[in-house]
Amino acid sequence: MIRKKCIILFTLLFSPCLIGSAKSQIVNEYIDLQIHTTMHVPYSFFGKGLLFFDEKDPPDLSYQHQFNNVNYANFFKNNQGLRIMVNGSLNSEYIGDPDKARKTILKQINYVNKFAEENAEFFVVAKNPQQVRDYLKTTNKTIIIHSIEGGKELIKSQEDANFWAEQGVSFITLIHLVDCEYGGAAVLPGIPTRIINIEATCDTKKEIGLTEHGKNTIVWLANAGIMTDVTHMNDQTRKDALAVMEAHGIPPLSTHDGFKPIQHHARALDEEDILKIYQNNGFVSLPISGYSCMPYNPDEKYKKQIDSLELYCEGSLDSYQFTYLAVKDFIEKHPQLGYHDSLSEAEKVNYCIGFQSDFNGWLNHSRPRYGEEGCYKTLPDSITEPIETQGLAHPGLLGSQWRIMEKEGTDLAPIKRSAEKFLQLWQYFLDNKGKF
């Protein structure tokens, strides 16, 4: 096992062409690592995603959209702020029937596939990394990739894992909001997740770790060509999962947990977690919502930094931007990770930081900086971007967020490199099916 692990890590870290064709150009595109356009399937009160509205009569949307559909197709047409999106088919939290669980996920996958077929001028579904590269090169379409959030009752065997790989599923967020057969779910501060995961809330001293079935499932998924997303795992389950992945040479993925030195709660990675993820050739992706990135009992170092900022509106894009820059600084300055400015662009791909919007994923998004719902009432004459006055009310404003961050001098290259890293990892899993 040790020899196998060393061979895998050597290949990942030192091969000049990690995955795929040596002639492939590095992809520098915005990829949303999970969005939920099919929430109406498991939860019927959500409006249907991926429908077009009349451009002459657009819906009146707010950043406070926790239970309202915002995933209109208009916002994804012509790549408004993203070129690639991973659609997360969502499992029901309390599902107890494997057949029903499979049917629910398949219904969502088929819904997206049908939408792309019917709107092929603007959209296409890619079921493997090479298809993504081909579509990027030959079309201007918005590319959709499949994932699953919540693996409850879905994977009982290697055959189940193989089935989801055949559907084109790239990764599975194995655990969602409740403890399940794989391990424990993180419980956020506040009432909602405590009520949803009531058993864990009632006995916080007995945090469930990764179960034996959870360990087997991570390996089954890898052997099928599917990545495991460690997001939503409680601290013990996540550390157990990272240990299993390290032992088997399985690169880890975390799509939308926070950074514990700033968000000091169970839905955040500590520095050791991040270090282990990158040392084992994985990468992290942050939730883009300022609401999700708000500080919670931050370390004194970061509290002082926030207090010293001239412009900082908590819960706005500032909270996301601050967390992103903190994680970027940690990764690029950590002596064990080996980042330096003289690395080639291909080598810098290993130090990417993705983003995940989670639109329609049970949460609100970034508040405005200015106006009645912002932190500042007075609007400067220089205001040009709607993200500052509307907040992140819908996916069509992602482009506005990137523009204002660039205007303010934020280096977005690690974010855009995450598309290449994601494709490399996915290809690596497919190339090594059955070898983990």
- For residues 54, 357, 317 and 365, what is the CA-based torsion angle, rounded to 10 degrees? 70
Report if residue 257 sits inside a domain: yes
Question: In the chain, how many domains are there?
Answer: 1
Residue 10 has pLDDT above 50, yes or no: no
Give the phi and the psi of residue 171 in degrees, each rounded to 5: -150, 160
pLDDT (tens digit per residue) in 121-136: 999 999 999 999 999 9
The CB density around residue 323, as the number of other CB atoms within 10 Å, is: 27
Tokens of 277: 């993820």
Report if residue 43 sits inside a domain: yes
Rounded-to-integer distance, Cα 197 and Cα 209, Å: 15
Tokens of 156: 């009982």
Widest pairwise Cα distance in the chain: 63
Q: What is the model's pLDDT at position 12? A: 46
Report if residue 19 sits inside a domain: no
Q: Would you call 330 helix, strand, or coil by DSSP?
A: helix
For 376-382, the CB contacts below 8 A with 24+ separation are: 376/313
Rounded-to-integer distance, Cα 254 and Cα 263, Å: 15
Question: What mean pLDDT comes out for the span 329-336?
Answer: 97
Rounded-to-integer distance, Cα 221 and Cα 210, Å: 15
Residue 24 has pLDDT above 70, yes or no: no
pLDDT (tens digit per residue) in 243-254: 999 999 999 999
Question: What mean pLDDT comes out for the span 326-333?
Answer: 98
* Per-residue pLDDT band at 290 (split at 50, 70, 90): very high
Q: What is the model's pLDDT at position 94? A: 86
Give the phi and the psi of residue 132 in degrees, each rounded to 5: -60, -50
Report if residue 375 sits inside a domain: no
Contact between 70 and 390 under an 8 Å Cβ cutoff? The reply is no
- In the chain, the percentage of residues whose pLDDT exceeds 90 is 86
pLDDT (tens digit per residue) in 78-121: 998 999 999 999 998 889 999 999 999 999 999 999 999 999 99
Report if residue 32 sits inside a domain: yes
Query: Who has greater pLDDT, 316 or 193?
Result: 316
| Nearest CA-CA partner of 227 in 210, 249, 251 | 251
pLDDT (tens digit per residue) in 169-215: 999 999 999 999 999 999 877 656 656 665 665 555 568 999 999 99
Q: Name which of 20-29, 291-300, 344-353 the model is least confident about.
A: 20-29
Q: What is the model's pLDDT at position 205? A: 59
* Per-residue pLDDT band at 13 (split at 50, 70, 90): very low
In one-letter notation, the amino acid at residue 175 is I
Residue 321 has pLDDT above 90, yes or no: yes
Domain containing residue 273: CATH number: 3.20.20.140
Q: What is the model's pLDDT at position 2? A: 43
* Distance separating the N- and C-terminal Cα atoms of the chain: 10
Report if residue 383 sits inside a domain: no
The CB density around residue 353, as the number of other CB atoms within 10 Å, is: 23
Rounded-to-integer distance, Cα 246 and Cα 210, Å: 14
| Nearest CA-CA partner of 76 in 142, 136, 31, 13 | 142
* Per-residue pLDDT band at 153 (split at 50, 70, 90): very high
Rounded-to-integer distance, Cα 358 and Cα 177, Å: 14
Q: Would you call 38 helix, strand, or coil by DSSP?
A: coil
Question: What mean pLDDT comes out for the span 63-91?
Answer: 96
Rounded-to-integer distance, Cα 426 and Cα 419, Å: 11
Residue 16 has pLDDT above 50, yes or no: no
Tokens of 326: 């903190």
List, in order, residues 6 or more apart from 121 with CB less than 8 Å away.
141
The number of angstroms, rounded, from the C-alpha of 134 to the middle of its chain's C-alpha atoms is: 23
Q: What is the model's pLDDT at position 20? A: 41
Q: Would you call 167 helix, strand, or coil by DSSP?
A: coil
Residue 6 has pLDDT above 60, yes or no: no
Question: What mean pLDDT comes out for the span 258-266?
Answer: 96
- For residues 336, 340, 342 and 343, what is the CA-based torsion angle, rounded to 10 degrees? 50
Tokens of 2: 């040790």
- Relative to beta strand 142-149, strand 84-90 is parallel
Rg (CA), the chain: 20
Rounded-to-integer distance, Cα 419 and Cα 27, Å: 6
Q: Would you call 34 helix, strand, or coil by DSSP?
A: strand
* Per-residue pLDDT band at 1 (split at 50, 70, 90): very low
* Per-residue pLDDT band at 8 (split at 50, 70, 90): very low
Rounded-to-integer distance, Cα 218 and Cα 140, Å: 35
Report if residue 13 sits inside a domain: no
The 3-class SS string of 75-107 reads HCCCCCCCCEEEEEEECCCCCCCHHHHHHHHHH
Residue 63 has pLDDT above 80, yes or no: yes
Q: What is the DSSP letter of 20?
A: S
pLDDT (tens digit per residue) in 369-414: 999 999 998 778 878 899 999 999 999 999 999 999 999 999 999 9
Q: Which domain holds residue 261?
A: 27-362+411-431
Report if residue 5 sits inside a domain: no
Q: Work out the burial of residue 153: count CB atoms within 10 Å of its CB; fewer than 13 is exposed, 13-18 middle, 19 or more buried.
A: buried
